[in-house]
Amino acid sequence: MPDPRSEAPSTGGASPYPRVVAGRTRADGGRRGLAGLWRVTVADGSMTPAVDPGDWLLLDPTVRRWPRRGSIVVFREPASGTLAIKRVAARPGDWVRFADGWLQMGDDEAWLRGDASDDELAAAGHGAAVDSRRYGPVTVDALVARAWFRYGPSLRRIGRLPGP
């Protein structure tokens, strides 16, 4: 298996900055029929301070439905298919404030948000946030895995990811 640090993250899609991971993916989104853990390297600053660019994460690719609110997930962005990492802000059936009203999530949809504010992203040179506020609800078919553990590179930050 190639060293994930030597792989270039994806820069395609709607986002003007590198998105999530350097790592392996599967044609089926990586969810069905695969046991074990995946390793990824984060290339995006949208989840700072919970997850920083360069963090090495372990993923559980066996998830088949949206995890609890507050969980961190890797998914394919709806328009581009680019891998991204965000936090589950609303699950199926939940209501979220959107535009000038409220939107209810469908039976297979979730609302995903980054932890970093627009001001923090702009200060880091990334531009405005790219999350459900931009592309709307995300269907479970786009879900790739649940991120749950940071194993490096900083020894001080090793451990379970902050979550619900």
The answer to whether residue 30 sits within a structural domain is: yes
The span from the CA of 18 to the CA of 110, in Å, is: 23
Is residue 158 domain-resident? no
Q: Is residue 6 part of a domain?
A: no
The angle at the Cα of 13, spanning 10 to 14, to the nearest 5 degrees, equals 130
pLDDT per position in the chain (164 positions), as tens? 333 333 333 333 333 333 444 444 444 444 444 567 888 899 888 888 889 889 999 999 998 999 999 999 999 999 889 899 999 999 999 999 988 899 999 999 999 999 888 888 878 777 777 889 888 999 999 999 999 999 989 888 899 998 76
- What CATH number corresponds to the domain at position 123? 2.10.109.10
Per the domain annotation, does 91 fall within a domain?
yes
Q: Report yes or no on whether pTM surpasses 0.85.
A: no
Tell me, yes or no, whether 97 lies in a domain.
Answer: yes
In the numeric block, which tokens belong to residue 147? 């991120």
**2 is a domain residue:** no
DSSP 8-state assignment for residue 24: -
State how many domains the chain has.
1
Residue 5 lies in a domain: no
Please indicate, yes or no, if residue 86 is contained in any of the structural domains.
Answer: yes
For residue 46, give its domain range. 13-153
Dist CA 109 CA 124 (whole Å): 30
Provide DSSP, 41-92: EE---TTTTTS-TT-EEEEETT--S---TT-EEEEE-TTT--EEEEEEEE-T
